[in-house]
Chains A and B, each alone.
Chain A
Amino acid sequence: MKDNKEKVVCVSSLGKTYQIGDVKIRALENVNLEVTKGELVAIHGPSGAGKTTLLNIVGGIDYPTSGEIIVFGQNLATCDEEYLATFRCAYIEFVFQSYNLISTLTAIENVAFPMELAQWPEDYIQERSKELLEIVGLSHRADHFPSQLSGGEQQRAAFARALANNALLILADEPTGNLDGKTGKAIIGILEKLKSDGKTQIVATHDEEILQLADQIIKIEEGRIIQA
């Protein structure tokens, strides 16, 4: 069945090594993975296993040291920075573990930012930003700066930003990791909705509820996939 579906991500023999001083750290080793359109893939494993590194490479903000990473038919390992920026803007959105909202922009401006990059019309951006904040339940905090939002609110704003350009692939790193149960449930609700909308999602998580929601669960330890 899987072979008939459109492959969104295709990772083969992927490796990543970091050099810190004289020490080499193998973050990923011989990773193979396929993600098809509309799938929600959950990656779990202990801290330091390489989940974030894998997401970063799939998202094109880091390069592998070996292997191949093909996303929407593009081998990202061979693309230059400029191309990757355009590629990310068109196809991929991130939800970072530490939210990474731009501190000098308000919640609504943060949500609008990817659309401004994509040069949508001003009216559309305004309308869509409000709509997205409404979806994540943050319309009452639209004009607040990240520093004035709680962790959960920042995470929801980050999700709203990830939905802005209708990206085909959403990468979320521990989206419920720092949140209380209630806010975590709200985030899971968003993931469910995205899944029902046919979005492809790769989520690094420890959250049991997300794992239950996933179409594919990958366990990663010491940089290797040990269970898929």
Chain B
Amino acid sequence: MSRIPFPIKDMKRRKLPTLLTILSLTISVASTIFLILMGENIGFNLESVTGGQLASGFSLIFSRFIVFVSILNLLTGALVVLFLFSLAMSERIRDIGVMKAFGCLTSSVFGIFATELFLMIFLGCIIGTVAGLVAYLGVSYIIGLSYLSNVNWWSILLVLLGFFLLSHFFGAKPIVKAIQMKPADALSSSHLFGTTTEFSGKSLSRFGLTLRVAFRSLMRRALPTRNIFLCLTMILTLVTVAVAGGLVAKETTVNYLERAVGRDVILVAHKDMIEQYANLLLQFQEAKPIKTVDYFDLRYAIPESLIQQLTNIPSVTKSEKRLLFETTVYEGYGVIIYPFDSSAYYFVGEGRSGKTFAMGIEPANVVSNWLIQGKPLTNETLDSAMIGASLADTMFTKPLNQTIKISESSYEIAGICIDPFNNGNVSYVSFNSLSSSLREFGNNLLFLKTNRKDNTQFLAQIDSFLSETNFEFLELNSVLDENISFLEKTWSLVMLLPLSSLATAVFCLFIYLMFSITEQQREFGIMRALGTKIKVVAKIVVVQVLAILFASSISGASIGFLIVYLLMIPEPIISLSTIYALMILIGLAIVFLTLFSLYATLKVIRKPILETLHPLLISPDSDSDV
């Protein structure tokens, strides 16, 4: 008699289920660790090129994307463990009945299977961590990111702990359910079969044998069907969030950028001011040195007569004057009143200050259309300011409840905008609210929005008006396109990350299907022994796979889209081309999943009949003393 403990002996003899469970855990842990480490590394790299951090509004969406995909990854791994253990335990109920019938205490039976669960989770987590780290280091090395200093061991520990606890929680549920069964119930033949509900299938009789048998089997094996539906829904939610989230986030952030800068806008200003403005816009992608400029140099003030001439050009659809200047701004304190007790309040703010850029704008004529949290500026709100997201993050505690002091005037912060200008370190106030000394100077920037169709002629007209002045013009589209290109490159790097999740999804599904179909293979064997051709059995399984994939695709894609639209991205933008791209990508994912599942199916179906009629999953060459 072997002295190896029962759980280890049991795991060794049930090689396939043991290996599949460990493998699915390994892949889930590895891809989550890879995702988080790569996400952080790409974040570090973005920070280093932008000289601090990516403009807050943009990095918020980026980090939300990583967080959502990581959480879904974690949940998928835990759910797969739950389902694998549900299947494994449904196969073992009879064994449990025998153990209990021979006097094994419930706690001892639990101990045996809990030990198996612990060992599999432990092995999966350890191997997964090593695999995730190796994948991260390898990919970082290949794409040329610095990596060694950026390994966040706390993140790894957190992921491990999350997986360890979630997997134990989910994996213990089917064990507890199985061991609570009375020995007589566990030994009865009713647990050898998965039949759980009535479904006559009479309504399907006109659709022929294949559909009828496929749907009967699906509907009557309610528990496995529900499990695979839930598992696939989770996997397809992950796929949708990864694909749709990435594409929509990319399109939306590009849109935020376009809205903030303005499309088809011409900037008219002194050469120094044009250089300075363009440089400040490009701070979004790279931290370049900023020249010291005297913004109130009279040479920079644009004469009103010139403004009138340019504004009167027929192609100009909108014109806006701005006064740009650098100044020290101060954080003002705010009062927060408790929601349920109007007499109780507390102060927020630390009296911080810092050098930043401010712009006096004409709220009614702005060429920008920022994404704003809070309220936009109006001509009437002279005591209000709008600040960039990065400034709000770095200098304010609860910005929308606080004030900001700019050039000796104090303003309530009405809104926070997403703006690439100076990487979001900027504040806007109404020109009319500026002090009289500033107003007397006038404006140093003029923005003209035009109809692009007659651009050449329009530019020639502007050129002729400016030829005898010190002023020049710049098409902002060129700067905007540079920023968009940077943002798109960033997203294309970020979009690589969910590939690891997609791989997890596909592998988990494959493993689950192998299990699920193996469970049904005896039935296939009986059908074939009765004269059903392999082709017909394959058709039955294909119908089952397609039905489940169709149902779970609809629910998974819907939940995924809801997460993307309601939780992940504020004011999401989705164009027709993105819809087509999404449909193609998600369609491809479904086709891929179908082919994978069919591979698993055909592998099982093609087994010799006798092999399918006998209990499988136990290696025939294993030693036999249990």
Contact = CB atoms under 8 A, between A and B. Distances in A.
Interface in A147-174: 147-148, 161
Contact of A82 (B189, B192, B534): B534
Interface in B22-56: none
A62 interface: yes
B608 A62 contact: yes
B533 interface: yes
Given A100-B526, A102-B526, A86 B531 contact: yes
B531 A104 contact: no
A61 B532 contact: no
A98 B446 CA distance: 89
A161 B209 CA distance: 16
B405 interface: no
B188 to A, nearest CB: 8
A82 B533 CA distance: 6
A116 B528 CA distance: 13
Interface residues of B, number: 34
A94 B530 CA distance: 7
Contacts of A147: 189-193, 195
A52 to B, nearest CB: 9
Contacts of B496: none
A103 B213 CA distance: 12
Contact of B220 (A89, A104, A116, A118): A104
B610 interface: yes
Interface string B165-208: 00000000000000000000000011111110000000001000
Contacts of B205: 122
Interface in A47-68: 56, 59, 61-62
A100 B533 contact: no
Interface in B400-449: none
B101 to A, nearest CB: 18
Chain B residues touching A, majority SS: helix
A16 B85 CA distance: 38
A61 B528 CA distance: 9
B195 A94 contact: no
A21 B619 CA distance: 10
Contacts of A113: 527, 530
B193 A145 contact: yes
A104 B195 contact: yes
Interface string A75-113: 000000110011111101110100011111100010001
A112 B138 CA distance: 59
A61 B609 CA distance: 6
A114 to B, nearest CB: 5
A165 to B, nearest CB: 8
Contacts of A89: 530-532
Nearest to A21: B621
B620 A88 contact: no
Contact of B620 (A21, A59, A101, A116): A21
A82 B531 contact: no
B462 to A, nearest CB: 78
B609 A20 contact: no
Contacts of B130: none
A113 B604 CA distance: 22
A168 B609 CA distance: 22
B529 A88 contact: yes
A103 B530 contact: no
Nearest to B528: A85
B621 A20 contact: yes
A104 B528 contact: no
A104 B217 contact: yes
B523 A103 contact: yes
A51 to B, nearest CB: 14
B530 A88 contact: yes
B209 A109 contact: no
A85 B620 contact: no
Given A20-B621, A94-B530, A100-B526, A62 B610 contact: yes
A135 interface: no
A168 B541 CA distance: 30
A61 B610 contact: yes
Nearest to A19: B620
Contacts of A59: 529
A148 B221 CA distance: 15
21 contacts: A21-B620, A56-B610, A61-B609, A62-B610, A85-B533, A85-B534, A88-B529, A89-B530, A89-B532, A92-B531, A96-B529, A100-B522, A104-B194, A105-B213, A114-B530, A117-B531, A145-B193, A145-B220, A147-B189, A147-B192, A147-B193
Given A103-B523, A104-B220, A104-B221, 14 more contacts: A21-B620, A59-B529, A61-B610, A62-B608, A87-B531, A88-B529, A92-B531, A100-B613, A103-B192, A103-B195, A105-B213, A146-B189, A146-B195, A161-B530
Closest CB pairs A-B (n = 4): A89-B531, A103-B193, A147-B190, A21-B621
